[in-house]
Structure 1
């Protein structure tokens, strides 16, 4: 995992690391997040698995399995550190533990790239995923933006990105009640009780100004807002002794207030026609209407905090919820209520899309991330990579596709005994 270098206390850096390892995810699902349309509500989602074989996976023979194997090795770096008896999240009926994946990780490390296809065929059994009777679900995209920034505030860089406050407490409710799996709250402790944290409007108006939380300064509040949407970004420092250095700002926490999409009020107010709604359209409107932009952004009470990480592998993305570095076009975010991170998935979009304008996407991906908008068993967010081109791809992805989960043999045996 990249090394945190922000100048915070050791205890805070530890808390941030724990938050990342606990799977506090990137905020993803671009167009859906902006319009609040798409996935089946979690309470209506029922995962159904049906065994298939690799010969039934359209496009399997043509895929570059070595790329998927490289992405899997990133997951295995994390999984090998987890005790074998540690339960993994996902459908509790499967009862997956880290030990279920340790043997395939051992084999993955020894497998030559030219043998990657044979490795996956021998180590896993494919199971098609349905949501009840639905074979397809919403597939969206996300990316890691790259922008200019500074370590000091100036007229050119007036908008701050904040580190996680010392008193922010984030709680995974599923750690306390199985019925609350996948739900989180956050706040601060006051007189022994967890109370709501400051919302976006309060933070923008100065609620945290005396805390010294500023990590980096960006050209505009709109840049900072879109950084929060992605949950991670690269910043090219423009001045001072570090000029030219590329750093990564990675998700470190959230204030606990629910996410409110700003796309819908922009449609309702007549600012953007519904058929033209996109990330680019929202950003253009905000930039062209500076007097109203902050009020619209404040409609989203959610606020994200960051930590600074070293960019050790520029070809890879940020650490996802699993803490594995994301691989462009080979990593997806899934719903951890249904799926364990570190599993391979056969990902299919049956028609041309932003990520593949010449035809369908059919490729082996690794589940390495999750997110607030990723809900349901047939629901994934496709990591498109870094920078403007990746953003163009991610911002346009909103298609229905299918998922096939690859299970290690021991887990597959358990799956066969379940009445789905």
Structure 2
């Protein structure tokens, strides 16, 4: 797969901002005070029998669980379909105050184009009063938002963090010269037949049905699968004989409604890879060593994704996520919408970044819930958007780490 220069956040984007000790002390004091005031506020829960059904994205208030040990204060809990949010103090967020918080604002304002319920007024304030620096951004968040620890209904606060990226592939309008793998637009009868034909059927006996739906052709069937899994991508298309390549985007346009099956997990079950080795570099290496077995392996994942070709006027802008706004590398994540609504800012603690000196530093930062995916299911589950390019592919391919999340929600 030919890939251009990296477009992914560097380790420096998670490094400590330069602020005075006095400013840092003031920040921490404000954080602790804000947390205590939030914990002391009282909200009377609705009786269980008379509680109305919530509107989509709106949390349900539930009776508070026992107080955290040593505080003597109750913790407010917001119930969602697949998770519960437990009110927390800012001081409980690991690494809080060390992120470059002002870098969240572009992603936050994009999310405000389609604000989550209860966010309309705060979005207006965020647009009118953008922070001048990281300290102002931290203080704005502390003033207006209450942190909640995201956990399962049984109280499990640890989940899974993975990564994804936007592939960049070379493509042709017509097959030939090694470009033989088609990428399809959605067929006219896609919504009339559910589930639609499987991957194997589309590539064999039902091939003629999609004969007029080919958008582009690429070289590698494994790259096509990567594009299907990521849901969107960039393609360099040579228009005409001797023409300069044009950068286009392939946006998600639907799928065949078959379940996704991980070929990495299948290779582990077959004993082809050891547990913990099923990253994309290892899978690609297996494919290079076993070209005659690749097609059968790909057919084990029956899900097939269709695309829509779009212009790419701004190469620095990410693809649109499920929220309907462009994703921001290093600041957008995919979530389970039944646990976290789109447009929610969160504090993420999971995984590591290279510090540029041969070591690593914890990945702890502000992010926005702006996308989802078929494999992103569970109360504490996130997919971290790395961007596009070679470095983004590398980082996304090896990211699999324990995760903790804190949702930041408007104070009532």
On whether the aligned pair clears a TM of 0.5, the verdict is yes
Are 1:69 and 2:105 counterparts?
yes
Gaps of at least 5 residues in structure 1 are 1-44, 80-87, 89-96, 170-187, 190-194, 411-420
Higher mean C-alpha displacement, 139-148 vs 270-279? 270-279
| Closer, same or farther: CA 207–355 of 1 in aligned 2, 3 Å | farther
Q: CA deviation at 1:360?
A: 0.6
Query: What is the rounded CA distance, in whole Å, between the counterparts of 1:355 and 1:208 in structure 2?
Result: 48
Q: CA deviation at 1:312?
A: 3.4
Q: Secondary structure at the match of 2:91?
A: helix
Q: Tell me which residue corresponds to 2:338.
A: 337
Q: Tell me which residue corresponds to 1:205.
A: 204
Per-residue CA shift, 1:117-143, capped at 9, x if unaligned?
232222211111112221211111111
Query: What is the rounded CA distance, in whole Å, between the counterparts of 1:247 and 1:168 in structure 2?
Result: 24
Query: What is the rounded CA distance, in whole Å, between the counterparts of 1:403 and 1:264 in structure 2?
Result: 26
Q: Report if aligned partners of 1:136, 1:378 keep a CA contact under 8 Å in 2.
A: yes
| Closer, same or farther: CA 151–390 of 1 in aligned 2, 3 Å | same
Superposed CA RMSD: 2.1
Q: CA deviation at 1:46?
A: 5.1
Q: Tell me which residue corresponds to 1:255.
A: 256
Q: Tell me which residue corresponds to 2:322.
A: 321
Query: What is the rounded CA distance, in whole Å, between the counterparts of 1:208 and 1:234 in structure 2?
Result: 25
Q: Tell me which residue corresponds to 1:214.
A: 214
Q: Tell me which residue corresponds to 1:289.
A: 290
Which residue among 124, 127, 138 is the counterpart of 1:109? 127
Q: Secondary structure at the match of 2:126?
A: helix
| Closer, same or farther: CA 378–55 of 1 in aligned 2, 3 Å | same
Query: What is the rounded CA distance, in whole Å, between the counterparts of 1:385 and 1:396 in structure 2?
Result: 14
Q: Secondary structure at the match of 1:308?
A: strand
Q: CA deviation at 1:244?
A: 2.1
Per-residue CA shift, 1:105-164, capped at 9, x if unaligned?
111111223132232222211111112221211111111111111122212211110001
Q: Secondary structure at the match of 1:352?
A: strand
Q: Tell me which residue corresponds to 2:73.
A: none
Are 1:136 and 2:135 counterparts?
no
Q: Secondary structure at the match of 2:266?
A: helix
Q: Tell me which residue corresponds to 1:406.
A: 408
Q: Tell me which residue corresponds to 2:371.
A: 369
TM-score, with structure 1 as normaliser: 0.73
Query: What is the rounded CA distance, in whole Å, between the counterparts of 2:239 and 2:290 in structure 1?
Result: 29
Q: How many residues align?
A: 324
Q: CA deviation at 1:326?
A: 0.6
Q: Report if aligned partners of 2:333, 2:382 keep a CA contact under 8 Å in 1.
A: yes
Which residue among 160, 167, 186 is the counterpart of 1:164? 186
Q: Tell me which residue corresponds to 2:399.
A: 397
Q: Tell me which residue corresponds to 2:169.
A: 147
Are 1:119 and 2:155 counterparts?
no
Q: Report if aligned partners of 1:378, 1:402 keep a CA contact under 8 Å in 2.
A: yes
Higher relative contact order (CA 8 A, sep 6+): 1
Are 1:225 and 2:225 counterparts?
yes
Q: Secondary structure at the match of 2:109?
A: helix
Q: Report if aligned partners of 1:200, 1:300 keep a CA contact under 8 Å in 2.
A: yes
Q: Secondary structure at the match of 1:336?
A: coil
Q: Report if aligned partners of 1:266, 1:272 keep a CA contact under 8 Å in 2.
A: yes
Q: Secondary structure at the match of 1:257?
A: coil
Q: CA deviation at 1:386?
A: 0.6
Q: CA deviation at 1:206?
A: 4.8
TM-score, with structure 2 as normaliser: 0.74
Q: Report if aligned partners of 2:354, 2:361 keep a CA contact under 8 Å in 1.
A: no
Which residue among 62, 77, 93 is the counterpart of 1:57? 93
Per-residue CA shift, 1:334-385, capped at 9, x if unaligned?
1111211001000012x63579952111110000011111111211111111
Q: Secondary structure at the match of 2:319?
A: coil
Gaps of at least 5 residues in structure 2 are 1-80
Q: Secondary structure at the match of 1:345?
A: strand
| Closer, same or farther: CA 355–398 of 1 in aligned 2, 3 Å | farther
Q: Secondary structure at the match of 1:126?
A: strand
Per-residue CA shift, 1:300-349, capped at 9, x if unaligned?
11101011122233223211100111111101111111211001000012
Q: Secondary structure at the match of 1:401?
A: strand
Q: Report if aligned partners of 2:105, 2:130 keep a CA contact under 8 Å in 1.
A: no
